[in-house]
Amino acid sequence: MSAPASTVEDAIQAALATVNDPEIRRPITELDMVRSAVIGPDGVVRVELLLTVAGCPLRDKLRADITAAVGAVPGVTGVEIEFGVMSPEQRQSLQAKLRGGTAAAEPVIPFAQPGSRTRVYAVASGKGGVGKSSVTVNLAAALAARGLSVGVVDADIYGHSVPRMLGADGRPTRVEDMIMPPQAHGVKVISIGMFTAGNAAVVWRGPMLHRALQQFLADVYWGELDVLLLDLPPGTGDVAISLSQLLPNSEILVVTTPQAAAAEVAERAGAIALQTHQRVVGVIENMSWLELPDGSRMEIFGSGGGQSVAESLTRTIGAQVPLLGQIPLDTRVREAGDAGNPIVLADPESPAAAALRTVADRLAIRRESLLGKPLGLKPAGR
Ligand SMILES: Nc1ncnc2c1ncn2[C@@H]1O[C@H](COP(=O)(O)OP(=O)(O)OP(=O)(O)O)[C@@H](O)[C@H]1O
């Protein structure tokens, strides 16, 4: 005996509502992508689906998910899907919907809104090459592996290496003037490198950098993020200042090596927080030592840099700045980064991965303990 028609149709709608758009990660029904879904007398359901863009690379995934969900409804004998494309008006209304119903003329940065629950960490270093990007991608992957919703902005305009290190080499898709970020290892990533041709160098002045960063924060559809990490360029440049203006509640993570010369410049990068009234969440020492086959440690870059930056920032800023972790030198960190599979995932038992995970745990624990409460953080030093 077949079920009454209305019940089957309700069940089909309910099944469609379980299918998420793979990019936007919200149900296709909520996004008005399902134009029609009709069951014929033969039990075959014909679904007309509107894609956001014609060349949508995720068409096959949508087809498979819809077929599985609708095909499982009792009484359904088959599923046929016809793909169409949204009109400019439909895309505009989708964009307004994603922005929370406001077709804002001015770009709105969701993380800067009162009550935003997203923790924003800006990863800064004094010198280049200390492993800031490696630390950023590993923290992002470790936090995502804990089940948090994580985004990364590669704001290292001159040395953008985050997409490669995360293996996120897809191009962002556009819905009107909204940008859908590629994802890898559960992390949403956006980088200036995704908008430049090949390996072209970007020579931008302050106002252009500011605008690019604003666009990454406002025009990218991030969804509800638990954590947003920003990989800043080394030093105390324009991007750090712009970020503090765009996201005054962002917190700074300082990466240094144990070397005294690196530590001195790292202190300067951290001390910028005094002027920008940001909080410095802690210091991460990278390349701390190399473990030799006999188990002893060779301190290639000396020792004590991380601790000394933490102590000096604690004094300068007048608030506790802890040393969050020490990451050993390990060729596997580089190899994993080169392969687009961060070491916390590629070799989770290695000492470097364990040290990175411990730092990620400390960052995530702070957020979970605040879950459900407005953050209301007082900027350090005020
Ligand atoms: N703990 C580590 N052990 C071994 N190699 C590492 C480690 N950390 C980083 N590296 C390697 O060192 C190089 C520099 O690292 P990375 O690009 O992350 O630095 P960065 O501070 O972001 O540099 P820049 O700011 O100049 O882009 C990379 O080749 C990376 O793979």
Convert the pLDDT of each residue in 157-189 to its tens digit: 777 789 999 999 788 887 777 888 999 999 999
Is residue 84 within 8 Å of residue 51, measured between CB atoms?
Answer: yes
- Name the superfamily (CATH) of residues 5-86: Fe-S cluster assembly (FSCA) (3.30.300.130)
Q: Average the pLDDT over 358-378 and give the result.
A: 59
Which pLDDT band holds residue 367 (cuts at 50, 70, 90)?
very low
Q: What pLDDT does residue 189 have?
A: 95
What is the 337 CA–ligand 1 centroid distance (Å)?
9
Which whole number is the average pLDDT over 80-92? 86
User: Which atom of ligand 1 is least distant from the CA of 338?
Assistant: 31
Give residues (CB < 6 A) around ligand 1.
125, 128-134, 156, 159, 161, 234, 286-287, 327, 329-330, 333-334, 337, 352
Q: Counting atoms of ligand 1 from 1, which one is nearest the CA of 329?
A: 3
Residues in Cβ contact with 166 at an 8 Å cutoff, skipping those fewer than 6 apart: 137, 140, 141, 152, 184, 185, 187, 189, 340, 342
- In this prediction, residues 69-88 reach a mean pLDDT of 92
Q: Which residues are annotated as a binding site for ATP?
A: 126-133
Amino acid 249: pLDDT: 86
CA-nearest residue for atom 23, ligand 1, is 129
| Choice from 133, 134, 232 to test ligand 1 binding pocket (greatest atom count within 8 A of CB) | 134
Cα 167 from Cα 44, distance rounded (Å): 40
Q: Which of 28-37, 259-268, 353-362 has the lowest mean pLDDT?
A: 259-268
Q: What's the CA gap between 365 and 132, in Å, rounded?
A: 22
Q: What is the mean pLDDT of the chain?
A: 85
Q: Is 0.90 surpassed by the pTM of this model? A: no
For residue 377, the model assigns a pLDDT of: 40
Q: What are the sequence ranges of the domains in the chain?
A: 5-86, 110-370
In this structure, which amino acid lies at residue 249? Answer: N
Q: Does residue 353 register a pLDDT over 60?
A: yes
Residue 128 pLDDT: 86
Between 106 and 360, residue with greater pLDDT: 360
Q: How far apart are CA 313 and CA 272, in angstroms?
A: 10
Fold of 110-370: Rossmann fold (3.40.50)
More confident residue, 313 or 192: 313
pLDDT the model gives residue 380: 39
Token pair 């040393």 in the structure block, residue = 323
214-273 per-position pLDDT tens digit:
888 988 999 889 999 999 888 777 788 888 888 988 999 999 999 988 888 888 887 888
Residue 23 has pLDDT above 90, yes or no: no
Dihedral of CA atoms 169, 175, 178, 183 in degrees, nearest 10, equals: -30
Q: Residue 198: is its pLDDT beyond 50?
A: yes
For the chain, percent of residues with pLDDT exceeding 90:
51
Q: How far apart are CA 35 and CA 27, in angstroms?
A: 14
205/33: higher pLDDT: 33
What are the structure tokens assigned to 83, written together?
A: 């793909």
Tokens of 326: 């020490």
CA nearest neighbour of 23 among 228, 239, 201, 180: 180
- How many angstroms is it from 217 CA to the middle of ligand 1? 25
Q: pLDDT-based confidence at 381, cuts 50/70/90?
A: very low
Q: How far is the CA of 286 from the centre of ligand 1 (A)?
A: 9
Q: Sorting pLDDT into bands at 50, 70 and 90, what band is 206?
A: low
Q: Whose CA is nearest to atom 1 of ligand 1?
A: 329
The model's pLDDT over 258-315, given as tens digits with 9 standing for 90+, comes to 998 888 888 888 788 888 888 899 999 999 999 999 989 999 999 999 999 999 999 9
